[in-house]
Amino acid sequence: MSIPAFSSAIALACVAVFLAWPAPIVLSRAAWPARAPARALILWQLIALAGGFSMIGALWLIFDAIFPAHPWLSAIPAAALALYLIAHLVVTVVRFDRQRRRHLQLLLLLSEPDPTRKRTVLLDDSAPVAYCLPRGVGSVTVLSKGLFDALDEDELAAVIAHERAHVEQRHEVLLV
């Protein structure tokens, strides 16, 4: 067993554990991400990438330390973990997209197009509701009739502008 490889593997495993557990907790409790959401999103993604690479590297080095005469054996579990992480990402994105498409289909069945606003649908509900369903070019803003009853024109315009800002700033990326 190679002591330097094993020591490096333990160090990388510790980095992976730190990035998977305490780092996200600390970041989620921080106040600054609300002031700089783009930077926070980039940091979240870097933490995830670094954590994934650390796990893969630690696994590779552990197997390299256990089987120093057969370095190709080290690649098998590391590659399997890498494929699992990529597959998990793909499955997550596909499920999210499928859920969003299903939501849009139901929404189109239960609503009617707003005659005065493009890409806006109206729900026949007395509760004041406003949200957006981001889909790139096919984004839809959803308003309820109860919202029209609860707000004056300026307030309604502000709510619609707020929902459209979610679409323009691509906030759905955060959801994925």
- Mean pLDDT split into 10-residue runs, the chain, 176 residues: 81 95 93 89 92 95 88 92 96 91 92 92 95 83 95 95 86 69
Cα dihedral 162, 168, 173, 176 in deg (nearest 10): 60
Pairwise CA distance, residues 160 & 92, whole Å: 29
- Helix ranges (H only) for the chain are 3-20, 22-29, 32-35, 37-66, 71-110, 145-150, 153-168, 172-175
Closest of 65, 64, 67, 26 to residue 43, by C-alpha: 26
Q: What pLDDT is recorded for position 54?
A: 96
CA angle 125-130-136, nearest 5°? Answer: 125
Residue 60 buriedness (CB in 10 A; 0-12 / 13-18 / 19+): buried
Q: What pLDDT is recorded for position 138?
A: 78
How many CB atoms within 10 Å of residue 153? 8
pTM (predicted TM-score): 0.74
Query: Would you list the domain boundaries of the chain?
Result: 3-99, 114-175
- Across the strands, what pairs with 112? 122
How many CB atoms within 10 Å of residue 18? 16
Residue 170, by phi and psi: left (phi above 0), alpha (psi -120 to 50) or beta? left
